[in-house]
Structure 1
Amino acid sequence: MMKLPRQRWEIATPNPEQVKQLIEATGLSPLIAKVIINRGIDTVKSTQVYLDPEVENLPSPLKEFPDLATSITLLQEAITTGEKIAICGDYDADGMTSTALLLRAFSQLGADIYYEIPSRMKDGYGINERIVEAFADQGVGVILTVDNGISAYQPIQRAIELGLTVIITDHHDLPEKLPPADAILNPKLLPENSPYRGLAGVGVAYILAVTTAQSLGITQGFIDPLLELFTLGTIADLAPLIGVNRRWLKRGLRRLPKSQLAGVQALMQVAGVSEEQKQLKPDDIGFRLGPRINAIGRIGDPQMIIELLTTDDPGIALERAMQCEQINAKRKAMCEQIELEAVHLVENTPIPWKKDRVLVVVQSNWHHGVIGIVASRLVERYGVPVFIGTYEENPSKIRGSARGIKEFNIFEALDFCGDLLGKYGGHKAAGGFSLLAKNLDHFKQRLSTFAHQYLEPHHLKPLVSIDAEANFDQLTPLLHQSIDQLQPWGIGNEFPVFWTPNVQVLEQRIVGKNHLKLVFCQDNNENQMKAVAWRWGEYFPLPKRVDIAYKLKENNWNGETNIEIEIIGIRLPLLETNSKPVMFEYQGKKYWCNFSSINNELKIKNEQGKVLAVTKGQRKGLLGTNRETAKEVDITQPHYYQLIKAAMGILGLSK
């Protein structure tokens, strides 16, 4: 029985007039113009900034952040008087790189500075009263939070009561009531159109460090190492690649291969990133360096990363980088094992996620530091919002992570269940929560109620977002070069995806660990395209004709460079274009029909573009403009039955 991936395709439809105007004004190719407009960039000026962020005149951070000048003054006073400054960081990649950045910067500026990062297991996220009181006992004068603090009203209030100065640097969503800190730096306090709005925690830390140094007249050799840490943290944190993030990342990525930081050199060495690369691509950081840093926060000791990124000793740096490597390998093995167990639970319990429109899976002995990664993988697999949890040391409590799909808001879903939960938080796409085990069944029911308000059955398939239709003769080295200039890729600037309908599968075979190697050709097009579909061996063999969605890739092998495609979506063509549809009239209306002997499928199209697809021997058919949103219909009903009979008669097929 033929098997294809369960997917829904969303093909962008940019305004043709906008595309035409952008092509005329910039000389961009039609495909690239469509990609750029699909990223929300729809004017010539914004396109120029997107292509070359350095052309934009940035407003001064001092004008944008209301409390920045106050923060600088407070830190200058602390440095001058020798007052102790304590950083309270976070255990994820953003928080650890932010902490390292500020430690490195303020040590160089002569500050008496040290740090503490809350324990993921004992403290949970963010500054708390225990940490505040410990700082006070140690004679701290200034607390500087990084990547946390905006929701910590009680701990900040306690710090103020104890006579401490508090500067919050954070980027998370604002609570209804802001903490009573002496200064708050958070891009969420800025206007929506501010170029600084998308900064991660490490971006806010970078601005604070650089502007403080500039106010003290110190810039020589100071900024570049901090820019590297900003780059590492921003990409690892999956911050949106817009505004200054995009501008500074492009700059930072050019620096990283030549980094003078012992920790970055060691991390690249163990991660197998070539120092010969002229420009390190974000993928190399996101998929090689970032996970090694993140793994420590998930299942290791964050102090290891702080030491790695602040030491100038190559020996210590290499030792810490190798520890990162070992812990990351352990993290990968954990994720694979938990994913296998979760899939087994879903498939064999079975869990009725299609009926519930949300997937809740809870198991003991899973490490809550990595279940968020597994949640993302389950979303990719099933295309449904996922809430995954594990029992804490106290089996009466559950701690979990959640990941969503486009039409579903995770934070709103958690809020809808707020009375059943302990702590919870997050945003549209992801969140975390805790609850008593006795509330689990009620939690599942409540989530299902919420999901039914926003999700239809056709939403519950992995989404493939597509930029534009392309012909094979457009897939050239020049197009690849143009795409490469749109880097860096990430949230808000995803890698372009194209599709080509009704291509012929010339060759297909399974290679390596269940991957597909393919060769496609397109009718009336001489170009053949080599392709790979990672981990898609289960779909072998593919039918002879398919629609494909893909990313353009460059394959360098034995000194030769070729353009190939990486398949991310496959579906059956709705209409075969190689066999011309035959027009006929039925009850005074025009229809077109054809029959595919490959798939044993009859297709009938009306004047409005709706297609009825019927497989021989089946009592149900599909009716719609595409397979993803088509509805099932009973073809034994008289209207459909007679229409099918007329079409088969025209095509000379027996009933």
Structure 2
Amino acid sequence: MIQKKWIVAEDPPPDQVAHLAAKLGVSLLVAKILLQRDTGAPEQANLFLNPQLTDLTEPTIFPDMEKAIDRIISAINGSHHIMIHGDYDVDGVTSTSLLYLTLQKLGAVVSYYIPNRLSSGYGLSETSVGAAVHRGCKLLITVDCGITAAKEIDLANQMGIDTIVTDHHEFQNVDIAAYAVINPKALPPDNPAYFLAGVGVAFKLVQGVYYRLGYKLSDLIPYLDLVAMGTVADLVPLINENRVLSRFGIKQLANCVNPGLQALLDVTGLRRRQLTTGQLVFVIAPRINAVGRLGDAQLAVRLFTTKNPQQALNIARTLEEKNRRRRSIDEETFQDAYRIIEQDVDVENVSVIVLASENWHQGVIGIVASRIVEKYHRPTVMISIDPKKKIGKGSARSVEGFHLFNALKQCEEYMDGFGGHKYAAGLTIHPDKINLFREALEKVAGAYFSTEDTTPKLRIDCEINPDEIDDHLMKNMKKLAPFGPENMRPVLLSKGMNIVGSPTVVGNNHLKFRVRKQNLTHEAIAYRMADQYYDQLQFERPRLNLAYVLDENEWRGRKTIQLRIKGIKFYDDF
């Protein structure tokens, strides 16, 4: 694994830290972090620490919202069939479930459609429009997709179907003849709703319809758990409106009434616990994504829309089994990709890694691409080739600073299609063009990296003495939650730690050990670092400088603090 360059943030002026801490009633450490993250103005910091549902923007700030509300209410009153067209990831599944449940409650005639990742691919298609026609649909509402589906929306119009597009992806140079388009990217970038996930956009639509019909925001609180799951899992910035929705949605998860959510929390052992964004991303989301990655994500929508607890439990157990299979396929694919890189790729002299194989399951290549990026710190494209159809479907992941979508745009002549954003993208390509595509992308990336510092960086918020780590500190740090992009869990630095006892290798290359400075001992876990550090920690036993985030473990009702290691340096080399 490539060593990261540690960058420790500069401490703000002590008088500013003390003033903010006193004003807000928080610890000096929390005040320091707020100032470092440009949330240091007292009023702004108070809004950040204490978000309220009343902070949510009015849904009618969206262009076309009034028009969309009118059309939906007309469809409900006329008993016209509404079909929700979703997507197969967590954001798409929760968006679909949210809209289905809330429209059903209003008496709508409503159904849903989720494309099969393997046979249909992403977004609206001729097949899905055909399904809408077959069902007698008069109104088609997309969630988490549709912003580029000009041809498919034209087809729907020809069939007498109105389309309301709700999406959060970037506008492209495509004119779509939809009845209404609800997309936060049509708002100014400083609008609190600008970074909403697909489920957040769907929530704004529901909010608008419910308000028009005389309902209150409190009537929508039971659905915020779905909104939080989709928002957190889609890795959108957890600031502004996303912070409000995820904060209250996670709170709702602890007391959820949705039978499917209850079942999923039961099988994962998280029922009736106060959840964290980390548990949503690494425990809950993979189980929902697994069915979409391996085939039909409609099973996940059935989980969240069923009213039958036993059916919900059966589906949740199926998701658990699918996720076990997905993990196995992940590991096989990663090992195969790793072997190819070590044999055939001169990593030191390339700017991007582009790999292709007929043996890879297209549902997992995105996950594997992320692992390759983590290991080699190169933008990575993984392409699964279907030799019969002569088509390759790729997933791409990037590194900090390299805008993947813009880079792919410069290579679009070699692809049949692509879409995505700064750090992740998907593409389709003819197998015969993969080498040309690799050369073109290498040229784009090489030009960028020749002028930029490409060393991976570990950004550290502040240095603390280990004796400051206690329940009081943990309680204060929780005030900054929920954590996610643009509000990551603070990374702390402690120097001169001594190893206690012997380190242990657990799971898949994870290193567990204890450290002490003075008289305090702390448990630590370093994920995927055992192969790099076990021998030195066991036999050389150097003093350590540790960069870490604070985690809270709960076992049989007892909570303990654990250091989740982000980086290790030896004290004498620092």
Q: TM-score range by the shorter chain?
A: over 0.9
CA spacing shift, 1:103–1:31, aligned 2, 3 Å: same
Structure 1 residue 374: Cα displacement: 0.8
Match of 2:330 in 1: 335
**Compared with structure 1, are the counterparts of its residues 96 and 393 closer, same or farther at alpha carbon in structure 2 (3 Å cutoff)?**
farther
Shift of residue 126 of structure 1?
0.8
- 1:445: Cα distance to partner? 1.9
Q: Which of the two has greater helix per residue?
A: 2
> Percent identical across equivalent pairs?
35
Return the offset for 1:521.
4.4
TM-score by length of 2: 0.92
Q: Among 270, 286, 290, which residue is 1:295 paired with?
A: 290
CA distance in 2, matches of 1:206, 1:25: 34
Task: Kindly indicate whether the alpha-carbon contact (under 8 Å) linking 1:236 and 1:294 is maintained by their aligned counterparts in 2.
Answer: no
Number of positions where the alignment pairs a residue of Structure 1 with one of Structure 2:
567
CA-CA distance at 1:403 after TM superposition = 0.7
User: What whole-Å deviation, never above 9, does each CA across 1:157-193 have from its counterpart, x for those lacking one?
Assistant: 2222333222111111011234121211111111112
User: Where do 4+ consecutive residues of structure 1 move more than 6 Å?
Assistant: none
Residues 1:185 and 1:350: Cα distance change in structure 2 (over 3 Å): same
Report the alpha carbon displacement of residue 249 of structure 1 after superposing the two structures with TM.
Answer: 1.8
Residues 117 and 296 in structure 2, CA contact (< 8 A), matched pair in contact too: no
Q: In structure 1, which of residues 544, 547, 550 is the aligned counterpart of residue 548 of structure 2?
A: 550
* CA displacement 1:122-170 (0-9 Å, x = unmatched): 2211112343244235432111111111111121122223332221111
Structure 1 residue 256, shift from structure 2 partner: 1.4
Q: CA deviation at 1:343?
A: 1.3
1:599 alignment partner in structure 2: none
The change in CA–CA distance for 1:401 and 1:286 in structure 2 (over 3 A counts) is: same
Cα contact 2:88–2:115 (8 A) shared by 1: yes
Aligned CA distance change for structure 1 residues 57 and 434 (closer, same or farther; 3 Å)? closer
Which aligned pairs between 1:92-241 and structure 2 lie closer than 5 A? Answer: 92-218=89-215, 222-241=219-238
Is 1:369 matched with 2:367? no
Q: 1:491 maps to which residue?
A: 485
Q: Which residue of 2 aligns with 1:253?
A: 250
Superposed displacement of residue 295, structure 1: 0.9
Residue deviations 1:548-604 (CA, integer Å, cap 9, x gap): 21112334567765434222201244767xxxxxxxxxxxxxxxxxxxxxxxxxxxx
Q: How far 1:294 sits from its partner (Å)?
A: 0.9
Whichever residue aligns with residue 213 of structure 1, its letter is Y
Q: Does 1:537 align with 2:534?
A: no
Q: Which residue of 2 aligns with 1:481?
A: 475
Q: Note the 1:2-81 alignment, pairs <5 A.
A: 6-13=3-10, 15-16=12-13, 19=17, 22-23=20-21, 25-54=23-52, 57-62=55-60, 64-81=61-78
Match of 1:445 among 435, 439, 444: 439
Structure of greater relative contact order (alpha carbons < 8 Å, 6+ residues apart): 2
Offset, 1:508 = 4.0
Which is worse superposed, 192-201 or 448-457? 448-457
Aligned mates of 2:493, 2:51 — CA distance in 1: 29
Cα displacement (A) at 1:530: 3.7
CA RMSD of aligned residues (A): 2.5
For structure 1, which runs of at least 5 residues remain unmatched after alignment? 577-655
User: Residues 220 and 418 from structure 1, CA distance in 2 versus in 1: closer, same or farther, beyond 3 angstroms?
Assistant: closer
1:49·1:56 contact (CA, 8 Å) conserved in 2? no
Assess, with a 3 A threshold, how the Cα gap between structure 1 residues 270 and 556 changes in structure 2: closer, same or farther.
Answer: closer
- Tell me whether 80-89 or 542-551 shows the greater mean CA deviation: 542-551
Give the whole-Å Cα distance in 2 for the aligned partners of 1:460 and 1:354. Answer: 12
Query: Aligned to 2:85, which of 79, 83, 88?
Result: 88
The whole-number CA distance in structure 2 between the counterparts of 1:407 and 1:220 is 39
| Cα distance in structure 1, aligned partners of 2:101 and 2:455 | 46
Q: Which moved more, 1:565-574 or 1:294-303?
A: 565-574
Distance 1:75 1:517 in 2: 54
User: Aligned-pair distance for 1:503?
Assistant: 3.9
Letter in 2 for 1:306: V
Query: Does residue 1:423 correspond to 2:423, yes or no?
Result: no
Alpha-carbon separation, structure 2, partners of 1:57 and 1:220: 12
Q: Is 1:344 aligned with 2:344?
A: no
Cα distance, 1:345–1:38 mapped onto 2, change above 3 Å? farther
Question: Does the 8 Å CA contact 1:99/1:146 hold for their aligned counterparts?
Answer: yes
Structure 2, unmatched stretches of 5+, are: none
Secondary structure, counterpart of 1:390 in structure 2:
strand
Question: Any conservation in 2 of the 1:395–1:437 contact (CA below 8 Å)?
Answer: no
- The structure that has the greater radius of gyration is 1
Q: Distance in 2 between matches of 1:258 and 1:482?
A: 24
Letter of the 1:280 counterpart: L
Q: 1:461 to 1:363 in 2, by over 3 A?
A: farther
1:382 lines up with 2:376 in the alignment:
yes
